[in-house]
Chain A
């Protein structure tokens, strides 16, 4: 019996060393591609009728004009939605979200934000997220859900009328969609900067360990 227990714990250690399982890595990078396509084509669509007093430079948009951008946006949406839905389903079903992202406590977040701002936040154990990471990852998943729901509202405001009602009305859903994009861009800046600062986190997302 003891040998069996030892094998179990060895297997457990082996498993523990695998920081990002293959499905997380695959879905992460599919999502990265889909998000970039959605954001760049979304900027071109935004330019057709800007909500604010600025537009996105054509050199950073995708599609060339409104019609081309819409084709990209409504093609990449399938990639984003199917991949995102699968990610949520597997993340919930395997308990990964629960074990990795919960609990998020206010005191933990405050403590880790202080540590992060003084550059004393530890990344020694890459299998465990600190509270700043937990908050950001849980937050960006939520933003991802909201951007898809607001996007569906803008796409199908009559057929999905009740979804529109969730945001108030059609023009509000557009603002929500834009704000979610802005939040994702902010997240991306921080996320990429930190991944480069802590290369082993990037390595884990590439090869798993």
Chain B
């Protein structure tokens, strides 16, 4: 492989390479949902289909939906994610995505606007300057990836619930659905109780500095009560809705609630 400039400040090279390797068996990921390879090794080991692959997959999807309901029931809107001192921050904080950092969106602050849609009183778009003018709070919390690793980071921004109040959102709606500028169009739904959690944040800074490109410039949604993939980066729009609109990873089989 040709030598490429992977180095950017704040990104762990080792993790970056590991993530690049992980991207390689990508085909097998997609195959799970489409091809019914869910029984995988079990059928290989036994040499026969103990269960029809597709029906096993249907059962697993149903259990995952059931698990969404269980998790929504377990979710305590007042339970706060543990916070840490600045000294506990993981350095460098890993960059993680389904693409190389080189392919991360490069967003021009001057033309970027946050689009607001759906069940809200005020649908005007917000410039970065307008968003930066909102009161910000800082949190040092643990980011937990669906893959199992975790890292402690420092995020500053506006609590999402304050912003939802500001735009007159219908907070009885079921979801806030985010769309992002990532290649292939990342998106992810966030259930309203989690959107209203005091630590759910529209993040503009990492470690007191303007959010770098690696972590989602100009805006990410930091949700310490969710796994990392439910913390969208490079956000371009939010929609308050009662419809389940799916998500990039959710559609491929990750549990949709994925709460911590």
Q: List chain A positions with a Cβ less than 8 A from chain B.
A: 40, 45-46, 48-49, 51, 58-68, 70-72, 74-75, 78, 154, 156-159, 161, 170-171, 174
Contacts of B249 in A (CB 8 A): 67
Q: List chain B positions with a Cβ less than 8 A from chain A.
A: 22, 25, 28-29, 31-32, 37-42, 44-45, 59-61, 63-64, 67, 71, 74-76, 79-82, 142, 144-150, 224-225, 249, 252-255, 259-260
Interface of A is mostly: helix
Q: Is the CB of A68 within 8 A of B253?
A: yes
Q: Is the CB of B260 within 8 A of A158?
A: yes
Known contacts A62-B42, A74-B255; is-contact A68 B81 (Cβ 8 Å): no
A-B contacts, 28 of them at CB < 8 A, read A48-B148, A51-B148, A58-B40, A58-B41, A59-B41, A59-B45, A63-B32, A63-B40, A64-B37, A64-B40, A65-B28, A67-B29, A67-B254, A68-B32, A72-B38, A74-B63, A78-B63, A154-B148, A156-B260, A157-B144, A158-B79, A158-B80, A158-B81, A158-B82, A158-B225, A158-B260, A159-B74, A171-B150
Bound complex: CA A71 to CA B44 (Å): 19
Q: Is the CB of A158 within 8 A of B38?
A: no
B63's nearest neighbour on chain A, judged by CB, is A75
Bound complex: CA A174 to CA B32 (Å): 26
Distance (whole angstroms) from the CB of B140 to the closest CB of chain A? 14
Q: Is the CB of A48 within 8 A of B22?
A: yes
Bound complex: CA A159 to CA B255 (Å): 17
Bound complex: CA A120 to CA B216 (Å): 66
Contacts of B44 in A (CB 8 A): 59
Bound complex: CA A193 to CA B202 (Å): 56
Contacts of A156 in B (CB 8 A): 71, 74, 259-260
Q: Is the CB of A71 within 8 A of B41?
A: no
B148's nearest neighbour on chain A, judged by CB, is A49
